Amino acid sequence: MVLRQNILITGASSGLGEGMARQFAARGRNLALCARRTDRLDALAAELRAAYPGITVFTSSLDVNEHDRVFTVFDRFRADLGSLDRVIVNAGLGKGRPVGTGRFDANRQTLETNFVAAAAQIEAAAGIFREQREGHLAVLSSFMAIRGLPKNSTAYAASKAGISAFVAGTRAELRRKGIAVTEIRPGYIESEMYDRTGGSPLATPAEAGARALAKAVEAEPKLAYVPSWPWVPLAVAVRLAPERLLRRFA
């Protein structure tokens, strides 16, 4: 296993991004953390520096929908740390509404953030890794990327299916260039964004979910469902389920 010492995480001020930052800090990794909410981000960075004085933590404000700024912030982090060994594309949005109910604005925001903005982050990371001739790109997609879903999940599932295809193409492009590319498909993990959906008995507690995510990222597979139980068998079931049953997963 390659040691990836300098790790950039987007959307790191809360939820899965914050959880992964804590996990990698505990492993002694240097961090470059970015998010829109800088107050929470800076508080997290101060906490991690105090708890793990041997690590370096840089922060920056970043709205990933400001695509040019994505490249600027990534390049600045690379200069600050000397190199970027791993980039975790985590920032995302779950704001969709049922199609045709007058909320295209919400669906558009979800699609733009989860697909176009994620593609910008992938482009920025891949450009840096090409120059370095090594690196690990890890992209958080979703269990919902498996197939189209109804209700509030239509735009979200579509955005994640799209970025999954983008990641697969990126992997094929970069596989001979010393760059590892991983797609992570989390199931239900407790977080602020997930809690707004109303919860599920299948949800994994936040800390356990963060540990599972960090472990999966560290292994650098092509694709991982996290946690593997029950999401690996459920992935098969959802892929094969008749359409009338899909509302249970939306």
Q: Which residues are part of the catalytic machinery?
A: 156
Both tokens of 41, joined, read: 């981000």
Both tokens of 207, joined, read: 């800390």
DSSP state letter for 116: I
Helix (H, G, I), strand (E, B) or coil at 118: helix
Is it true that the peptide bond before 98 is cis, omega within 30 degrees of 0? no
Phi-psi group of 182: left, alpha or beta (phi > 0 → left; psi -120 to 50 → alpha; rest → beta): beta
